[in-house]
Structure 1
Amino acid sequence: MSSGDDAARAEAQPNDGRDGGNQGLADTTENTSAEAEEPAKAEEVAKNGFRGRPTAYTEVDGLSERYPMNHRPRGSALIFAHSKFDNKSLNPRPCAAHDAEIARAAFKALDFKPEVFFDLTRNELLRELQAVSKRDHSGSDAFAIVFMSHGEVKTRNNMEFVWAKDDKIPTKELWINFTAERCAGLAGKPKLYFIQACRGPDVDKGVNMSRAVRGMAVQTDSIEEYVIPIHADQLVMWASYPGFPAFTSKRKGIQGSVFIHYLAENLKDYANTSPRPSLSSILLKVSREVAVLYETDIGSDNQYHENKQVPYIHSTLLREIYF
């Protein structure tokens, strides 16, 4: 093939494509005919934009480094605490009421409107999440969920679940209703999820660390349009690393879940400081304190004796959060 043919072929290729993949299904004959058989889709595209992209409205500049925090209350903070379970193989969680109260107080101190729910069934939980996603969130700056229960992992596919009172749900159900295309009122706003639940049975005995000592002790009148991914502006913080358990304690001033204790303590403490630090720095301190200050004391005959725990964060936040 001539160099001219190569150049023509290269020019015909799209500038962007899926790494390691084929062109999108939208360009295939099979998908085109499927769309032709569903004329109703054309109306949806006309309403929502190219390929059904919905439109949401925001006050924030696309490259702003901070999320705006201008409302009181900041938004809703849903706290789901589970203490009793129909499945008798699941131990009761007597710390649930205590953990729910310290979480409620922490988010109230940050100017959220906390709502506490105890021992919801699977259907009640899913209905509540769907109902909240349909509220008018236009007057909110952010949204939060704190979920406390037992957790479970399917080893076959590593799919994670959390338990309601009577049944389990995939963990992703906690946030799936609040993505940008399903809940336009929260599009472009931070959505925060804090999950106290075990993520597996692995053991973490930690590593001894020895410190080496060296030496001596705007505002604009123009309208900007930009597009964000549907899963942007989301932070999920689990109590423990994937595959590992989360612990409760009645030592060192802790009266329930270790993660919830340090999370609530730091959120409430920093709510009273001025200026308030960024949420990322607060959560970094939470992780550090859980990892360094806590170690289980269950008894030497238990595999989880002298075990460590470290929280785990998955974030698609685009900006810093300063409450």
Structure 2
Amino acid sequence: MSSAGDAARAEAQRADGRDGGNKGTASTTENRGKRAEEYAQNAICGRPTAHTVVDGLSERYPMSRRPRGAALIFAHSEFEDKALKPRPSAAHDAEIARAAFEALDFQPEVFFDLTKDELVRKLREVSQRDHSGCDALAVVFMSHGEVKARNNMELVCAKDDRLPTKELWINFTAERCPGLAGKPKLYFIQACRGPEVDKGVRMTRPAFGIPVQTDSIQEDYVIPLHADQLVMWASYPGFPAFTSERKGIQGSVFIHFLAENLKNCASTSPRLSSILLKVTREVAVLYESEIDSQNPYHKNKQVPYIHSTLLREIYF
């Protein structure tokens, strides 16, 4: 290997930095800001350490423990703000979610109509538990949601107040909850994400066929603080989530298809990514709202939305 090549690689390593930043930006105080400077100073002292039995490049998360972990189910039906309509489907949705996660050998804990402070306290309390004997954590949150027009911040509603959606998972990042570091954290959110309208697009089959072209073990490793997390919302950003009393749904459309598919998979052990893809497909294809024909949300479509930093597959 040439010395010129070694020098080029060394230079590339020294120049490693933020995409979009100038060379060396990460080491200059004036470009970081006070908060980033404090974080960098703390980082000099070392990073948090958590234990794992998983090889860094393993393709699957271990999911053999019983129970697999806690499944926190937060259902909100009544609100102090009278501008927020009651959610009569909350009890039904909580029950089918509880049954689904119980079938998957999680340990469900159901909470109704918590205030903002009670909700935040519960999440913090769970994050401080001993999770060494768990394989995963699941959180299901069902309520109203909205978006702040000023800064596009997404909010969900507790009984008495709003809170940023990120509060649902902020206590379970790797540095705040080392017992769950390297383990999957799954969040399912039934709440509106805005008022936009989605009438969908009619799909038809073409008259003629269209041709289709087919086509080492690490002793230790470091993961990002926000790795191993999946958040699945009932709807796409900016759009509402619907409830229905048709076709056997009797509650939130997203929770219905999610619970149904999770429960059905308990005996077949497929992978989570396939299950959630099926949930997304069924909500998108099988559901269309039926309201007063003069209502802008009549004949609207809904599609769930996933944000994932999972590093491996989950098989039940």
Q: How high is the TM-score relative to the length of structure 2?
A: 0.89
Taking the aligned partners of 1:64 and 1:92, their CA distance within structure 2 comes to 45
1:202 aligns with 2:203: no
1:290 aligns with 2:291: no
Question: What pairs up with 1:118-133 in 2 under 5 angstroms?
Answer: 118-133=112-127
Q: 1:155 aligns with which of 126, 144, 149?
A: 149
Aligned to 2:29: 28
The alpha-carbon deviation at position 15 of structure 1 amounts to: 3.6
Taking the aligned partners of 1:58 and 1:306, their CA distance within structure 2 comes to 48
Taking the aligned partners of 1:293 and 1:96, their CA distance within structure 2 comes to 22
Q: Deviations over 1:96-154 (max 9, x none)?
A: 00000000000000000000000000000000000000000000000010000000101
Taking the aligned partners of 1:69 and 1:255, their CA distance within structure 2 comes to 32
Q: Which runs of 5+ in 2 are unaligned?
A: 1-6, 210-215
Aligned to 1:259: 254
- Pair 1:105–1:25, CA change in 2 (3 A): same
SS of 2:276's equivalent in the other structure is helix
Q: 1:86 aligns with which of 66, 80, 96?
A: 80
The alpha-carbon deviation at position 213 of structure 1 amounts to: 5.8
Q: Deviations over 1:237-287 (max 9, x none)?
A: 0000000000000001101000000000000001122xx111000000000
Aligned to 2:4: none
The alpha-carbon deviation at position 51 of structure 1 amounts to: 4.2
Taking the aligned partners of 1:13 and 1:268, their CA distance within structure 2 comes to 48
Aligned to 2:294: 301
Taking the aligned partners of 2:135 and 2:12, their CA distance within structure 1 comes to 44
1:314 aligns with 2:307: yes
Aligned to 2:16: 16
Q: Deviations over 1:145-197 (max 9, x none)?
A: 00000001012211000000000100000000000011000000000000000
Q: Which runs of 5+ in 1 are unaligned?
A: 1-6
Question: What pairs up with 1:161-310 in 2 under 5 angstroms?
Answer: 161-212=155-206, 214=208, 224-273=219-268, 276-310=269-303
SS of 2:14's equivalent in the other structure is coil
Q: 1:102 aligns with which of 96, 119, 138?
A: 96
Taking the aligned partners of 2:288 and 2:186, their CA distance within structure 1 comes to 27
Taking the aligned partners of 2:286 and 2:160, their CA distance within structure 1 comes to 35
Taking the aligned partners of 1:12 and 1:132, their CA distance within structure 2 comes to 43
- Pair 1:11–1:319, CA change in 2 (3 A): closer
CA contact (8 A) 2:17 2:26 kept: no
Taking the aligned partners of 1:81 and 1:308, their CA distance within structure 2 comes to 24
Taking the aligned partners of 1:77 and 1:11, their CA distance within structure 2 comes to 48
CA contact (8 A) 2:56 2:218 kept: no
Percent identity (aligned): 75
Runs of 4+ with deviation above 2 angstroms? 10-13, 22-31, 33-36, 212-215
SS of 1:173's equivalent in the other structure is helix
